[in-house]
Amino acid sequence: MAFYYDKPSHTFAEYLLVPGYSDANCIPNNVSLKTPLVKFKKGETPSLSMNIPLISATMQSVSDDRMAISLAKEGGVSFIYCSQTVEQQADMIRRVKSYKAGFVSSDANVSPDSTLGDVLRIKEELGHSTIAVTADGTANAKLVGVVTSRDYRVSRMSSDEKVHTFMTPFEKLVTAPKGTSLKEANNIIWDNKLNALPIIDEDGCLFSFVFRKDYDQHKERPCELLDGDKSYIVGAGINTKDYAERVPALIEAGADVLCIDSSEGFSEWQSRTITWIRENYGDTVKVGAGNIVDGDGFRFLAEAGADFIKVGIGGGSICITREAKGIGRGQATSVIEVAKARDEYFKETGVYIPICSDGGIVLDYHITLALAMGSDFCMLGRYFSRFDESPTEKVMVNGNYMKEYWGEGSARARNWQRYDMGGASKLSFVEGVDCYVPYAGSLHDNLDVTLSKMRSTMCNCGALNIKELQDNAKLTLVSATSIVEGGAHDVMVKNSQSGNK
């Protein structure tokens, strides 16, 4: 006879945190969001930790090299998607590891024969006011000039006007040679009252830019996540099919941590993948696994050797696994049970394996709930897909700007490896959708609000770090009527912007 759980599974929206005592030290500025990323032994320090408990999902529409750099600046980690060729993914890893804070590769470039219309289109799409003019319009060709908003007036010029007629030519630019330190570059900027300084190589080809605004931003971001060489920490997704080829290439490219990207982790395929990594790299290569939704799944992956374990099946906004297959579990219940299994495993073995809540996050406070329930960090897809830094297009839909977003189980992604069950190399049916999400602007501005909410909530619970939150939080299930009560009701709201994502 089948096994039946005697209680229903619950989502985050069915819980609230009950306030605890807050002393005078319990203010948001004193809250630490630092959290372990990989397993460690009792009394030891994790080899990898994050300064905020957020990672971006291993998805084509979320995590590329640009997102990885942007999130590492804030203290989190991106896992660059693996549903691409090994070479393409390794190149993305290399770009992240070779990026040095302050030196920005130019992603806004035109040629001298481009038009004002091309400049305005780039400015609209990317939001950049400084655009490099190179000989052939590519990022690292010979620099021939720069266009800024001071070089043209839309009201007095034709959109067909060629860039070379109004750009600031190379001979009038202040530049610096490749090899200039960031400190030296910033001194040149300040001494010459510049907004941007092009860095060029010995052949006059554009290498990067240093921007005045980045100096202030760098000082404002003390949580940057860097390795010993002052490069940004970056993760990479792998699958259970081509790991023997993909893993060596990603490690050679500089990936700091890997994660098996799979819809369901309680399988021999994941065990085989982890075993191969351990046989070839020992414990030097860190690899997360998942996804699972109960204690049995956690125990299986823990014993297989996973460095962290992802929790959640069917709870993502673009995931239709529950609808298509009837497989899954309420995200809150999954996290609570797996956290209990994690703590039991720690007591037995002295090894702490972090767990990651993946899916089910609708509102900002759901992240704090996931942490209180035992998660060490959360993986987010939809949240990060809305920002400028995600790799998808910004489009106009019914008068509003939107960003494209699609699931790895959708027909668009064609990521059949994620659903490997030893069968044919194709998707038999889809488990994800292709959709739009409201465009939200920059990652930094939005994330700053989210983290402020988290720190404030933790103070309400009397917690100054995630461990204290997990130890001391009080949670209560709420009724459907209580959920209605929790929002604005019995009034006419002037502004529908609630501030939640």
**Which active-site residues does the annotation give?**
319, 418
DSSP string, 285-334: S-EEEEEE-SHHHHHHHHHHT-SEEEE-SS-STTB-HHHHH-----HHHH
86: which DSSP letter?
H
Burial of 473: CB neighbours in 10 Å, binned 0-12, 13-18, 19+:
buried
H/E stretch holding 55 reads strand 54-56
Tell me the H-state helices in 8-64: none
H/E stretch holding 109 reads strand 109-110
End-to-end CA distance of the chain: 43
Contacts of 275 (CB under 8 A, 6+ apart): 304, 305
H/E stretch holding 131 reads strand 131-134
Contacts of 231 (CB under 8 A, 6+ apart): 96, 97, 98, 99, 100, 254
Q: Which whole-number Å values give the CA distances from 367 to 266, 314, 455, in the listed order?
A: 25, 17, 11
Q: Looking at this protein, which amino acid is placed at residue 488? A: A
Only one residue has tokens 């209580």, namely 482
Shortest CA distance to 408 belongs to which of 390, 381, 443?
381
Sign for the pseudo-dihedral over CA of 150, 153, 154, 157: negative
C-alpha to C-alpha distance for 239 and 289, rounded to whole angstroms: 10
Pairing status of strand 355-358 against strand 308-311: parallel
CA angle 251, 57, 394 (to 5 degrees): 115
Both structure tokens of 368:
């704090």
Both structure tokens of 19:
């306030």
Both structure tokens of 16:
């609230």
Largest CA distance in the chain: 82
C-alpha to C-alpha distance for 34 and 271, rounded to whole angstroms: 29
Shortest CA distance to 256 belongs to which of 405, 59, 46?
46
H/E stretch holding 452 reads helix 443-460
